[in-house]
Chain A
Amino acid sequence: MSGLGPIAGGLTLAVPRGALFEETLELLDALGIDTSDVRASPRRLLFPGPGLGGGIERIVTMRPSDVPTYVEWGAADLGVTGKDVLLESPDREVYELLDLRYGECRMVVAARAGDDALEESLRRLGVARVATKYPRIATGHFTETGRQADIVEVKGSVELAPLTGLVDAIVDLTATGRTLVDNDLEVREEIVASTARLIANPVAHKLKAAAIDEIVRRIRGVRG
């Protein structure tokens, strides 16, 4: 067979901006990947090599919830995102390679402290109103616990919704619980714990197997 083209070995890595950003860059530093440009340019999105090192040809930065989309379609070979994001989009065809064990947080049901609006709505109205940025996780949780809930999707600060009477409770991610406390909310139920994960595009995982396995091996090395 003739004309078999080569497969470039360099990897495109999707790095999440936001809560996981700093620790992801620290991990990349530990792997010997040059993150100085990424650190120096908060508004740039694409950082081409060469010279990044560690088998990485290109870094792209984006919000964590977009990482699975870029990785699923192969616009990035590897990416870092939260387990919460992966749980919210379970049909994305990406491979979950490693638990990076930082970015620890919990998905919880929270409601106004000292208030039984959630219980009362369930008892008297048969259904609770719940605001969230994670409709699939929230729907799944209430379904699996045998309770009926109307899920209200909001984009901004979810904590406002129960304070204004929009809903009885919220489903949201919390790391320290401070924002909840500051808004007179308390955790009622824990749904799932989340940490940062390394994900891979299925085709890249096969065509660039050696480069991906090498990165996984080195991450296991530096993270013990």
Chain B
Amino acid sequence: MIHRLPPGTRDVLPAEMRELRALSDRLRASFDGAGYGEVWTPSVEYEDTLRRGDERAARAGAYRLFDEHGRVLVLRSDMTVSIARLVATRYGGVRPPVRLCYFAHSHRAVERGRGHAREFLQGGIELIGPDAPEGDAEVVALVLGALEQAGLRRHRIGIGDGSLVRELLGELEVPHERRSALLEHLSRRDLVALEFDAEAIGLSPAARELLVTVPSLRGGPEVLDRAGGPVARAVEGLRELYELLAERDAAERVILDLGLVRELGYYTGAVLEVYDPAVGYALGGGGRYDELLGRFGTPLAACGIALDLQRVHAAQAAEERLL
């Protein structure tokens, strides 16, 4: 007899589970070998806690319930806020750096017919304490190496700066009330709407050109030279990070992407996204969030990245088919 599952959820049977387990074991071994201890946090948190960390992260949690006292619980949509809460609560007296990793399910809302997962398994690392760019370089190099140890061959990492686009809008003196619409276009990369609005606002042709071309720059270190003055601070940060990654022999997998924007609002510096040419979707992402822990009363710099393990597994399978 057939009993249905909620759309976007699924069972895992032994053949898949064996591969998934092997994949997560190899990632865990890499993370553990680099000193990242594994933690668990509850799958539900108080909504107030998530909101203290990040309004958007709290809203992204699609599933809410009331406990017996009427308090609102949210099924987590992301691990990073929970890790920040955990570090503030459990590591109060510990001298940084704190290195943690996790393998856990998160949940988000899905639309019918889109083929997206409502429940997904994430494996990730969080490095608390070290500043940019050294901390970023450690996280990027570790995740690239761990994916290679896990059997991926062609993966890449996109690196951008979470505040670059804001900096650019400021430099171009875009009126404040117009910025959110432009940011929205840029994060969706709706370049047609971006060009249209830039003209409607009355930006000079030179400013319009910069607004469209700078966030479209992506590739090797040469894009940093082409970005020039208006985003000098972000470019300098990316250059330092790139040089550290080159020293760690990790630069050949790096795509510098000046338009990279991540949905969550807590990123303050580098933003990261992992790709594999065998599949058309990102395998994971993360970035630097230097203000999040402060909101929990422990002002520490931090950087982390989370991989969607079922997507990494799919990329691995797709790579093998292409070979």
Measuring CB to CB, which residues of chain A are less than 8 angstroms from any residue of chain B? 1, 3-8, 72-75, 91, 93, 95-99, 197, 201-207, 209-210, 213
- 1/0 per position for B247-276, CB-CB distance to A under 8 A? 001101101010000000000000000010
A98 touches B282 (CB 8 A): no
> Given A3, A97, A197, which contacts B153 in the complex, CB threshold below 8 Å?
A3
| Contact of A95 with B253 at beta-carbon distance under 8 Å, contacts A74-B280, A75-B280, A203-B282 already known | no
- Which of B252, B253, B280, B281 is the most central at the interface, judged by chain A CB atoms within 10 Å of its CB? B280
A sample of 8 cross-chain residue pairs with beta-carbon separation below 8 angstroms, ordered by A number, consists of: A1-B249, A74-B279, A91-B114, A99-B192, A203-B282, A206-B156, A206-B218, A206-B257
| Contact of A206 with B190 at beta-carbon distance under 8 Å, contacts A1-B250, A4-B153, A73-B115 already known | no
B253 touches A203 (CB 8 A): no
> In the complex, how many angstroms separate the beta carbon of A54 from the nearest chain B beta carbon?
20
Enumerate chain B residues within 8 angstroms of A204, measured Cβ to Cβ: 280
> In the complex, how many angstroms separate the beta carbon of A78 from the nearest chain B beta carbon?
12
Enumerate chain B residues within 8 angstroms of A72, measured Cβ to Cβ: 280
- Which of B111, B144, B153, B190 is the most central at the interface, judged by chain A CB atoms within 10 Å of its CB? B190
Number of interface residues of B (CB under 8 A): 32
> In the complex, how many angstroms separate the beta carbon of A199 from the nearest chain B beta carbon?
10
Enumerate chain B residues within 8 angstroms of A6, measured Cβ to Cβ: 154
Q: B277 at the A/B interface (Cβ < 8 Å)? A: yes
> Given A96, A98, A203, which contacts B280 in the complex, CB threshold below 8 Å?
A203
Enumerate chain A residues within 8 angstroms of B145, measured Cβ to Cβ: 1
A96 touches B277 (CB 8 A): no
Question: CA of A5 to CA of B275 in the docked complex: distance in angstroms?
Answer: 13
> In the complex, how many angstroms separate the beta carbon of B301 from the nearest chain A beta carbon?
27
Question: CA of A197 to CA of B190 in the docked complex: distance in angstroms?
Answer: 10
| Contact of A73 with B191 at beta-carbon distance under 8 Å, contacts A3-B153, A206-B158, A209-B219 already known | no
> In the complex, how many angstroms separate the beta carbon of B6 from the nearest chain A beta carbon?
19
Enumerate chain B residues within 8 angstroms of A207, measured Cβ to Cβ: 156, 255, 275, 277
A210 touches B219 (CB 8 A): yes
Q: B317 at the A/B interface (Cβ < 8 Å)? A: no
Enumerate chain B residues within 8 angstroms of A206, measured Cβ to Cβ: 156, 158, 218, 255, 257, 275
A203 touches B279 (CB 8 A): yes
B255 touches A205 (CB 8 A): no
Which B residues from 168 to 210 make CB contacts under 8 A with A?
A: 188-193
> In the complex, how many angstroms separate the beta carbon of A136 from the nearest chain B beta carbon?
11
Known contacts A97-B189, A206-B255; 13 further A-B pairs (Cβ under 8 A): A1-B144, A4-B252, A74-B280, A96-B192, A98-B191, A197-B192, A203-B280, A204-B280, A206-B156, A206-B158, A207-B277, A209-B219, A213-B216
> In the complex, how many angstroms separate the beta carbon of A71 from the nearest chain B beta carbon?
8
| Contact of A202 with B277 at beta-carbon distance under 8 Å, contacts A5-B154, A98-B191 already known | no
Measuring CB to CB, which residues of chain B are less than 8 angstroms from any residue of chain A? 111, 114-115, 144-145, 148, 153-154, 156, 158, 188-193, 216, 218-219, 249-250, 252-253, 255, 257, 275, 277, 279-282, 319
Enumerate chain A residues within 8 angstroms of B148, measured Cβ to Cβ: 1, 3
A73 touches B257 (CB 8 A): no
Q: Report the nearest B residue to A86, measured CB to CB.
A: B190
Question: CA of A47 to CA of B154 in the docked complex: distance in angstroms?
Answer: 26
Question: CA of A161 to CA of B140 in the docked complex: distance in angstroms?
Answer: 57
Question: CA of A7 to CA of B156 in the docked complex: distance in angstroms?
Answer: 10
Q: Report the nearest A residue to B256, measured CB to CB.
A: A206
A7 touches B154 (CB 8 A): yes
A95 touches B191 (CB 8 A): yes
Enumerate chain B residues within 8 angstroms of A95, measured Cβ to Cβ: 188-191
Enumerate chain A residues within 8 angstroms of B280, measured Cβ to Cβ: 72-75, 201-204
Q: Report the nearest B residue to A74, measured CB to CB.
A: B280
> In the complex, how many angstroms separate the beta carbon of B65 from the nearest chain A beta carbon?
25
Enumerate chain B residues within 8 angstroms of A209, measured Cβ to Cβ: 218-219, 255
A91 touches B111 (CB 8 A): yes
> In the complex, how many angstroms separate the beta carbon of B239 from the nearest chain A beta carbon?
19
B193 touches A96 (CB 8 A): yes
Enumerate chain A residues within 8 angstroms of B277, measured Cβ to Cβ: 5, 7-8, 203, 207
A96 touches B190 (CB 8 A): yes
Enumerate chain B residues within 8 angstroms of A96, measured Cβ to Cβ: 188-193
Q: Report the nearest A residue to B193, measured CB to CB.
A: A96
> In the complex, how many angstroms separate the beta carbon of B42 from the nearest chain A beta carbon?
29
Question: CA of A109 to CA of B145 in the docked complex: distance in angstroms?
Answer: 56
> In the complex, how many angstroms separate the beta carbon of A146 from the nearest chain B beta carbon?
22
Question: CA of A203 to CA of B279 in the docked complex: distance in angstroms?
Answer: 8
Enumerate chain B residues within 8 angstroms of A91, measured Cβ to Cβ: 111, 114
Q: Report the nearest B residue to A96, measured CB to CB.
A: B190
Question: CA of A120 to CA of B288 in the docked complex: distance in angstroms?
Answer: 57
> In the complex, how many angstroms separate the beta carbon of B89 from the nearest chain A beta carbon?
35
Q: Report the nearest B residue to A207, measured CB to CB.
A: B277
Enumerate chain A residues within 8 angstroms of B279, measured Cβ to Cβ: 74, 203
Question: CA of A72 to CA of B144 in the docked complex: distance in angstroms?
Answer: 25
Enumerate chain A residues within 8 angstroms of B252, measured Cβ to Cβ: 1, 4
Question: CA of A207 to CA of B257 in the docked complex: distance in angstroms?
Answer: 10
> In the complex, how many angstroms separate the beta carbon of B12 from the nearest chain A beta carbon?
21
